[in-house]
Structure 1
Amino acid sequence: MAQALSPEARERQRLYWQEKNRRRRAAKRGGASEPYTLVEIAARDRARCGLCGGRVAMKRVAPHPKAPTIDHVVPVAEGGDDTRANVQLAHFRCNSAKGARGSQQLALIG
């Protein structure tokens, strides 16, 4: 019988698949990709949401509205790259509202 994973191992596994899927989606659309982590982006952005400017609750997990997520400034669906230069930290709520639209389009809607 398989042994259950520890919470830490489960989180590492989740992050691994999340990163792998980001790279796969970018490659599928012909965009560039480079490795990065949520923690690196959060440190760079000083734990502030790139969409609303509010503080991101780094200990929360989606679907909590203030949970940290990676937002692509130019969405991968629109041809954006999966690189550090094209990502920012965002609340789960803000990133979900933005969807696959660019920041400029979001400003026009909101």
Structure 2
Amino acid sequence: MKRNFAALSIVTPAGQHIAQRQKRLEIRSWQPEQLPLKDLVIVENKNYLSKAGDEEAGMAVAIVDIEAVHPWRKDEIEAASATYWAAGYWAWEISNVRPIDPPIAVQAKRKIYFIEMDHA
């Protein structure tokens, strides 16, 4: 049965790191309009989608919850699977990770967007 989900695209390999519970924070320059975000689909894609209208093929790799967002701290580089820290970013706290196995082909778009897919 198809269901509508909110989705967030993330450049490879970060989506798999989330699905494997290795990445506990998603770092963004913006905050979601409302929290919590329940049943958010993580869509892994190959390229940064940096301007309005950008989209490409992606793979839904996990369903997560985002309960809270806070200013990103220097001591959170490892939790974010990042290689460096920069001021002015937001750390989205990832919880309740449910991997999608096998991954499902969907479109990757900017910001939070909506997809329809078969998933219990």
Do they fold alike, i.e. is TM over 0.5? no
Higher helix share: 1
Largest Rg, 1 or 2: 1
Higher strand share: 2
